[in-house]
Amino acid sequence: MADHTHEHDHDHARTFAPDEETKLGYYGLAEIAVRELLIEKGLFAPEEFRMGWERFDTNGPAMGAKVVARAWTDPAFKERLLRDGSAAVREFGVDMGLIHLYAVENTADVHNVIVCTLCSCYPKPLLGPPPDWYKSRDYRSRVVRWPRQVLREFGTAVADDVQVRVHDSTADLRYLVLPERPAATTGWSAAELEGLITRDALIGVARIAPPPTHGATE
């Protein structure tokens, strides 16, 4: 919209209040009240708000995949990522604000998985919005107590001699799993590797599946 001088006509239907049966908590109500007030004051238009959410909602794990593919192909970057995740992802234009990002590396001996036991803290600038299961009480409470079992439920078996580390995210602390690069990707470019990297592997509930071989020999 080029012209923002239109009148505000108090058409509250435009802000899409949730269905009546949806229970709104304190923060849900506060968000709607503040949003409607800011729109009424003309600080932003409803369509700008919508566009912001569209960007957020359709933002997937692509940035996380880019960061990991770079770490797999650039040892110096990997070192920077493991040392100071927030600073390293800034090289990709990702601003974590005041949040500390820790990249945790999966190896032959260690498997990492992330959770937020308190709520749903998640490295959103890298992975987009969290999946529903990540926010569920079921996942949050069980993965810290029985991580191997929960991982098995995701189809990820972790051998007994591999240590499982569960990382609890907080308001100012986020984790990104740096998965193991599959064998048989020798010589692949970062762009090619990105295509193999899935959201769940970056959360740590899955591994990166080996690439299809197409019957070719390498």
Q: Is 172 in the site for Fe ion (CB under 5 A)?
A: no
The residue sitting closest to Fe ion, measured at its beta carbon, is: 121
**Smallest gap from residue 52 Cβ to Fe ion (A):** 21
Nearer to Fe ion, 122 or 188 (CB): 122
Nearer to Fe ion, 84 or 168 (CB): 168
Binding-site size for Fe ion (CB under 5 A) equals: 5
Q: Are the CB atoms for 117 and 168 separated by under 8 Å?
A: yes
5-24 residues in contact with Fe ion (CB under 5 A) are none
CB closer to Fe ion, 175 vs 188: 175
Catalytic residues: 116, 119-121
3-state secondary structure the chain: CCCCCCCCCCCHHHHCCCCCCCCCCHHHHHHHHHHHHHHHCCCCCHHHHHHHHHHHHCCCCHHHHHHHHHHHHCHHHHHHHHHCHHHHHHCCCCCCCCCEEEEEECCCCEEEEEECCCCCCCCHHHHCCCCHHHHCHHHHHHHHHCHHHHHHHCCCCCCCCCEEEEEECECCEEEEEECCCCCCCCCCCHHHHHCCCCHHHHHCCCCCCCCCCCCCCC
Q: How far is the CB of 123 from Fe ion (least distance, A)?
A: 11
Rounded least distance, CB 25 to Fe ion, Å: 15
CA distances 40 to 6, 12, 24, 36, 67, Å, are: 12, 10, 22, 6, 40
Question: Is the CB of 121 or the CB of 208 nearer to Fe ion?
Answer: 121
**x/- map, 90-129, Fe ion, by CB under 5 A:** --------------------------x-xxxx--------
Site string for Fe ion, 26-65 (x = CB under 5 A): ----------------------------------------
- C-beta closer to Fe ion: residue 174 or 199: 174
Provide the binding-site residues for Fe ion, judged by CB under 5 A: 116, 118-121
